[in-house]
Structure 1
């Protein structure tokens, strides 16, 4: 039976996902077979497993840290918000319906407990250690009776838990004490230690506070994790989106629309690591000045976001950019918006049966009841003379019909099946491109060739760096694992778990 280590947080965005990935990698590098687990995740950033099932992007990253392909058991319940109080519920990789928050927490979540426990037992029987990520805070007393990700996961796994607080936001001591106070006694007993995350300062000045925490809570502070910069790790939530500056000056300026229900914004993460490329997110048309590449990303509610786009005045601004020679790329929902019409005959997403698109691509989308989730591989097809492979995955509810002769890609593989099928759409002048392929910028060859062509047509210089995105992600996982290993009491962690742990990165310089 596997050892279980659970990472709880005093609130959302304290760093649970990244620290869980770091601990996964650390334990993996210590020689153990490790698997990640999050009973329930709420995120519109998802990923597709090799067998075509959908899970949260965070658990896919954690699987990578463990040297594994992701699988549905690692995230049995995924909630994908489509409105303020409505989410699509994905169970073991397949959607089972969309529910209001009160309906989900009132009955649905209780019915999912058996599947969550079965998924955990599956991992428990195949690995040495399961690293469990909690959700939000375990002190949400109003949700305790229907909880899946914290109280229920603690009870099922009997895990040894660490409580994480983000000191960079302030109030970390009060958050730790308050969280422990509000936990049920049996849950509190499972918390074996405290981690202070995102610290930047003089550790000696902090020590009196750490001593206070240990006296007040009766639990050791296992370590203080430094605030780490420059990690190429995809962010899980859109709350993390911010303006990202590259070299500026004559560099390529990429702007993405920050849609209210944006999904899979991690598609653009590889662009942020290219020298000479700046990426920012726009919520107002006034922010679309001097754009070389405009991206309309995915959306969990395409029609509603298209209507928002129109109401904010983006439609005129986008068409103006196209007239001035700006490249426009739509991914998934963004692809659907760029077409002539979006039809929803079954009311899958909206009560509106037909919505006019932006009309920049000769394409027509029809929403269907079934959801497409699959890994794909493709090659470029007469796209500006670029001949490169593209690799990624599809997650969408619609089917898009495109006029012949306006296809940028040719699919060569769907899952394990070799195919020869057209994909995406491109305008006659090559300025507007739409595709369902998430992750298309992860392969270095296509990303660099695409940006080089954008630069050429925009009359700018662009010299691609030698960076390799997937290698950078892997290196970042090792770097954060090494930082955690040098910042915590590894022997104490080993004693808590009943494992022999030594720092496997002793040759790596310690983080300050």
Structure 2
């Protein structure tokens, strides 16, 4: 019979994703066939599986830690906030519908079937499931609608560990309150973890003993505040690395500004640029920052037309047109690519109430939005330089036509070979998320600006994939040394 362990939190951002990631790697190190699971995730950070399904990026990271292929059943329900429309609901990797909270809760039974089907499937494939809860399990006004916290623990009869964030204050009260509000499920709660601790451990000990007595649950561990923990907002990687120590070896800095859009999505696309030692990357819409940039990136957006309207309201579109004449490199990723074109046409009102809107007009392309979403991993090469290979993934509702010739790619979900992206002088755009995770391509872009500044190009500094792997290993070491792993092994029954 497959085993399970569930990590729940006293609140959002308590550290659940980080701990599940670490436990997946710890279990894999011990030869256990383990997989992560989160019934319902709400995030604009998503990942595309090999078969073209969309899941939360956090579950993909956890799968990498477990050394298994990310699977749609690891995150059967993904919610992507869409402003006043509610949230786009993705079930088993595909768009189901856009719903407001009341409608979503009314479909609880249908969504719960997707959750239990996924659990039953994963149990046939893996020895152990490490399960992540969402938010707080003690939102008593929502417990009857629960498909992600105690409902999952009850279904699997899984032991639960509660994580509290001491850095935000009130950790003992939050642990006590969470356990007591879950009185009908209290037998499943087997202990608690205090996360993000700074200071003198001896000062904490009396409080731990008191709370253990009050709730009759043991402390499983105290995790120190990990300054560079590596899990960013909405559960993506956000890494720094020792490679930053090499900054003194390089002269010059390439300044990159990512537009801080209201509905920015998949901003993890830019993490590899952030840790390049000769790059300064910021998120901004300020004119002063844009004027000083070597590269400006328009990122992906969950509401492309709304963010395009914002850019126009702020006059950023006009500034981009002026800067393009000054040889500033302007890049569009996914929604940003669509915005750089001449027109965005929305006959089915997929994106907004507008049927059509002019783009920024820097690329010779047009986009038409359709009700269906294209989701696929891709691999290919730069058309003008075939020796530079790339991998990534597409997630978009629209299709773009015109002078599409930047990359030659194969869509792995369908097997079709197509061209992607457009370029005109110092302007280019693509649908490929994760494009900057490709080391050679990333250095090609940065080196172009080094040469422009009279600096020597740098062929290679680090492997992004190795940085991610090193992070997971170090995280697992830190968490393993902070927890009572003997207690955890006993809870799991292994």
Instruction: Name the TM-score, length of structure 2 as normaliser.
Output: 0.94
Cα contact 1:275–1:464 (8 A) shared by 2: no
Partner of 1:379: 381
Q: Does 1:74 align with 2:74?
A: yes
> For residues 364 and 452 of structure 1, what CA distance do their matches in structure 2 show?
30
Deviations 1:396-418 (A, max 9, x none): 00000022xx621111x211665
Shift in Å, 1:456:
2.2
> For residues 468 and 308 of structure 2, what CA distance do their matches in structure 1 show?
33
Over aligned residues, Cα RMSD in angstroms?
2.2
Q: Does 1:271 align with 2:273?
A: yes
SS in structure 1 of the partner of residue 437 of structure 2 = coil
SS in structure 2 of the partner of residue 270 of structure 1 = helix
SS in structure 1 of the partner of residue 435 of structure 2 = coil
Partner of 1:358: 360
Cα contact 2:230–2:239 (8 A) shared by 1: no
Cα contact 1:15–1:197 (8 A) shared by 2: yes
Cα contact 2:440–2:460 (8 A) shared by 1: no
User: Which shows bigger deviation, 4-13 or 318-327?
Assistant: 318-327
Deviations 1:169-189 (A, max 9, x none): 222122111222222x23222
Name segments (4+ residues, structure 1) moved above 6 Å: 238-242
Over 3 Å counting, the alpha-carbon distance change for 1:24 and 1:240 in structure 2 is closer
Q: Does 1:192 align with 2:168?
A: no
Q: Does 1:449 align with 2:444?
A: yes
Partner of 2:296: 294
Deviations 1:265-324 (A, max 9, x none): 111111122111121111443432411111111111100111112222322232232232
Shift in Å, 1:109:
2.8
SS in structure 2 of the partner of residue 18 of structure 1 = helix
Partner of 1:151: 150
Partner of 1:103: 103
Shift in Å, 1:258:
1.6
Over 3 Å counting, the alpha-carbon distance change for 1:250 and 1:95 in structure 2 is same
Count of equivalent residues: 488
> For residues 471 and 232 of structure 1, what CA distance do their matches in structure 2 show?
14
> For residues 130 and 294 of structure 2, what CA distance do their matches in structure 1 show?
42
Shift in Å, 1:234:
5.7
Partner of 1:421: 418
Partner of 1:87: 87
Partner of 2:125: 126
Ranges in structure 2 where 5+ consecutive residues have no aligned partner: none
> For residues 57 and 431 of structure 2, what CA distance do their matches in structure 1 show?
17
Instruction: Name the TM-score, length of structure 1 as normaliser.
Output: 0.91
Structural mapping, 1:202-213, within 5 Å: 202-213=200-211
Partner of 1:510: none
Cα contact 1:293–1:326 (8 A) shared by 2: yes
Partner of 2:483: 488
> For residues 142 and 465 of structure 2, what CA distance do their matches in structure 1 show?
38
Ranges in structure 1 where 5+ consecutive residues have no aligned partner: 500-512
> For residues 378 and 233 of structure 1, what CA distance do their matches in structure 2 show?
29
Q: Does 1:322 align with 2:324?
A: yes
Q: Does 1:135 align with 2:134?
A: yes
Partner of 1:497: 492
> For residues 237 and 74 of structure 2, what CA distance do their matches in structure 1 show?
23
SS in structure 2 of the partner of residue 441 of structure 1 = helix
Partner of 2:36: 36
Shift in Å, 1:77:
0.4
> For residues 228 and 165 of structure 2, what CA distance do their matches in structure 1 show?
18
Residue among 368, 371, 377 paired with 2:370? 368
Deviations 1:359-403 (A, max 9, x none): 011110000121100110121012xx5840010010100000022
Shift in Å, 1:200:
2.3
> For residues 459 and 143 of structure 2, what CA distance do their matches in structure 1 show?
51
Shift in Å, 1:460:
4.8
Over 3 Å counting, the alpha-carbon distance change for 1:190 and 1:19 in structure 2 is same
Partner of 1:224: 222
Q: Does 1:21 align with 2:16?
A: no
> For residues 194 and 38 of structure 1, what CA distance do their matches in structure 2 show?
19
Residue among 439, 463, 470 paired with 2:434? 439
Shift in Å, 1:126:
2.0
Shift in Å, 1:439:
0.6
Q: Does 1:64 align with 2:64?
A: yes
